[in-house]
Amino acid sequence: MIKPEKLKLNYKFWIETESGLSVLGEGKWKLLKAIRDTGSLKAAVEKMGYTYRQTWQNLKNIEDKLGFKLIEKSRGGEKGGETVLTAKGELIVAFFDKLYTDVEPGIKKSFERMVEDLNKIVD
């Protein structure tokens, strides 16, 4: 038997439509942050271990669902082009950042209290 104190909560945040269509989750949030940090979709997908073609298509699908662009690409130039987040892309990143900084601690604290309650009945 596993004692409750050995349990840990595992979860992910994502957003979906009212009908349950997944729009964007933790993986793409991390990808958007990597794009922002590297200035390059290619560098971001390499960092994340994703394939470029599939990731590009996934981002286009997300943009179609949301109805706005998340990234802007420019070709050429001294650095060989770059990819940046749009203002709305930055807002999406900030939204997920707030989920993890504002909401996650409360979830963890609540889970710890629930495990304490379980320990009282298991002992």
> For 73-103, what is each residue's pLDDT tens digit?
988 766 677 999 999 999 999 999 999 999 9
19 vs 75, residue with greater confidence = 19
User: What pLDDT, on the 0 to 100 scale, is given for residue 2?
Assistant: 61
Residue with tokens 């604290």: 109
Residue from 29, 7, 33, 9 nearest 109 by CA? 9
Identify whether the C-beta of residue 56 lies closer than 8 Å to the C-beta of residue 73: no
Domains located in the chain, CATH noted: 23-113 (1.10.10.10)
Identify whether the C-beta of residue 71 lies closer than 8 Å to the C-beta of residue 35: yes
Q: How far apart are CA 69 and CA 71, in angstroms?
A: 6
Residue with tokens 């922002």: 36
SS3 (DSSP) at 18: coil
30 vs 79, residue with greater confidence = 30
Q: What share of the chain is helix, strand, coil (3-state, %, to 5)?
A: 60, 15, 25
